[in-house]
Structure 1
Amino acid sequence: MTDHFGSCLCGTVSFELTGDFDSFYLCHCQHCQKDTGSAHAANLFSQSAKLAWRSGAGCCGSCLCGTVSFELTGDFDSFYLCHCQHCQKDTGSAHAANLFSQSAKLAWRSGADAVTSFTLPGTRHKKSFCKLCGSALPSTQIPGLLVVPAGCLDTEISMAPTAHIFSSSKAVWDEGLGDVPKFEGLPE
């Protein structure tokens, strides 16, 4: 049995199909031409696949090893690039990139038992991650607040970062990066 995921062009409507397809047809009738604005419609058919509609402008994500996957429904309130020293240590990078929401809902699709959390004693710094590969994952440790590391999302988001925060802790080497050479892949 196979899982298939899809959505409309803007991502507002999404769905999941569980099962296999029986046939694939290209229909050239005038109705399909008008409906698609194309020479034909391309349709998959199944007698047994189960369809599940996903509500809202949701997005999906997963960990690096693929054990954990999740779905989010709802909107993000803010998107912060945090330069505090805890986030630098936590990510091993110049900053964390986290989306925040007080209303979005998180549903684990797989691997919920592989999600673990860490709270730095004496601070508000919290992190959820996959205990197999270490990838950062959404956190609900603060009541009423969902924190989602932007890098764990598999679907694109249109929200631009709201602000850089804790810029007084910014790494010294995180200056003038616009002048650093760029490569499409690993340089030779």
Structure 2
Amino acid sequence: MHRGSCLCGAVTFQVTGDLPQPSACHCVACRKHSGHFEASVDIPADTLTISGEAHVRWYQSSEKVRRGFCDICGSTLFWDPVFRDWTAVAMGAFDTPAQTKLAMHIFVSEKGDYYDIADGLPQNDR
């Protein structure tokens, strides 16, 4: 079981089972939404429980994706592909040790020019 929350605690969540390996997305939308690149892990819908959903606000960033954040503290929490049965959860929102490691970087063709990626993990342009 893995637990997490937004900064103020109004939204909490738990994930049953092990976390898969997360990816780091460097696309412009993720950078603007999170303030830097965004690391998240894809969680099957039946293993994710969210409490305080009344405080989750969804921003429809494209026809296929909405982004969830706390309406009180503004914490980035979720990336939800509306036509899929999973939700990506921001790694920084987990409270407990994640017991997983980053697998890859995606959309590196859009990364910011103010940092380098030097961890040796695979880097995908898209």
TM-score, normalization: structure 2? Answer: 0.81
Residue 98 of structure 1 is matched in structure 2 by 40
After superposition, the Cα gap between the structure-2 partners of 1:170 and 1:106, relative to the gap in structure 1 and judged at 3 Å, is same
Structure 1 residue runs of 4 or more that deviate by more than 6 Å after TM superposition: none
Instruction: Give the one of 92, 105, 113 matched to 1:151.
Output: 92
Distance (Å, rounded) in 2 between the aligned partners of 1:74 and 1:102: 10
Residue 101 of structure 2 is matched in structure 1 by 160
**SS across alignment from 1:107:** strand
**SS across alignment from 2:113:** coil
**SS across alignment from 2:33:** helix
Which amino acid is 2:107 matched to? F
Residue 123 of structure 2 is matched in structure 1 by none
After superposition, the Cα gap between the structure-2 partners of 1:97 and 1:113, relative to the gap in structure 1 and judged at 3 Å, is same
1:62 aligns with 2:19: no
Distance (Å, rounded) in 1 between the aligned partners of 2:81 and 2:14: 17
Distance (Å, rounded) in 2 between the aligned partners of 1:107 and 1:176: 33
Residue 78 of structure 2 is matched in structure 1 by 138
Residue 67 of structure 2 is matched in structure 1 by 127
**Contact between 2:19 and 2:98, CA under 8 Å: does it hold in 1?**
no
Distance (Å, rounded) in 2 between the aligned partners of 1:83 and 1:107: 27
> Superposition pairs for residues 2-13 of structure 1, below 5 Å?
none
After superposition, the Cα gap between the structure-2 partners of 1:139 and 1:73, relative to the gap in structure 1 and judged at 3 Å, is farther
TM-score, normalization: structure 1? Answer: 0.56
Residue 19 of structure 1 is matched in structure 2 by none
1:171 aligns with 2:112: yes
Which has more radius of gyration?
1
Q: Percent identity?
A: 31
**SS across alignment from 1:175:** coil
After superposition, the Cα gap between the structure-2 partners of 1:120 and 1:155, relative to the gap in structure 1 and judged at 3 Å, is same
Q: Residue 101 of structure 1: CA displacement?
A: 2.7
5+ unaligned residues in a row in structure 2: which ranges?
120-126
5+ unaligned residues in a row in structure 1: which ranges?
1-57, 179-188
Distance (Å, rounded) in 2 between the aligned partners of 1:78 and 1:67: 26
